[in-house]
Amino acid sequence: MQVRLEGRAGIVTGASRGIGAAIARAMLDAGAEGVVLTGRREETVGAVAEELGPRAIAVTGNVRDASHAEEAVATAVERFGSCALLVNNAGTNPSAGTLMDVDLAAVDATWDVNQRAPLVWARAAWHGWMAEHGGSVVSIGSVGGLAPGPLIGAYNVSKAALHHLTRQLALELAPGVRVNAIAAAVVRTRLSEALWTADPEGAARAHPLGRLGEPEDVARAAVFLLSDAADWISGVVLPVDGGLSGAGGALG
């Protein structure tokens, strides 16, 4: 099976570290013509682009900003000839707590980044390239969007919304554009540190496969869903979770 991306270029949001940087690297390794990396801080996302080489370009901005999304799409088309691939990876979880007590401004920020921004980027990619030429979109969701759990309810709700947005866009953008998502479990990144740093071994044991996820685990799945190897797959939320959701693990 050929999992390749030759002849296509695209965007990875939130690509300054962790899962986003790993996906961008995997896309280039799979032969993508180029990848636009986005992030809030020029020094961090620029450093990743420099490391990845001339087929990677950093575009700095706020993921919630429609003009930033349009700039990134235009950059991909201008520099690499297409914007056929979009990975909605940027996410946030600024505050933990029950929905009855958590700061509502933090809830607004979480939902804005995690569920509204992926729509902003899908629209920019659609109007800037995909409506005429086709393409593939992958969004990074969470097993937290599959079942309720304590303390990160606002995050979980936002990821459940992202999963449903994936299915809705798969319907609306067919047949030319495929739209899928990945429901990741605990991956060893800075965003998830609160979930594993206090007891890494215990966090690993909670997953039936006995280890935490690594960014590369998610990256390989993302490249598969972007590629022609998955060309009859759309509207799917694929668990990449060490067996957590399907082999007897505890989601809550």
Q: Which of the following is catalytic: 121, 126, 155, 196?
A: 155
Please state, in angstroms and rounded to a whole number, the distance separating the CA atoms of residues 1 and 139.
23
Q: What is the dihedral of CA 80, 85, 90, 91, to 10 degrees?
A: 180
Distance (Å, rounded) from C-alpha 35 to C-alpha 20? 11
Rounded to whole angstroms, the Cα distance separating 129 from 36 reads 14
φ, ψ of residue 82 in degrees (nearest 5): -165, 165
CA 17 to chain centre: 12
E strand residue ranges, 40-176? 56-60, 85-88, 135-142
In terms of residues, how long is the chain? Answer: 252
Query: What b/e string do you get for 98-117 counting C-beta neighbours within 10 Å, with b at 16 or more?
Result: eeeebeeebbebbbebbbbb
> Is 18 noted as a catalytic residue in this protein?
no
Just list the catalytic residues.
155
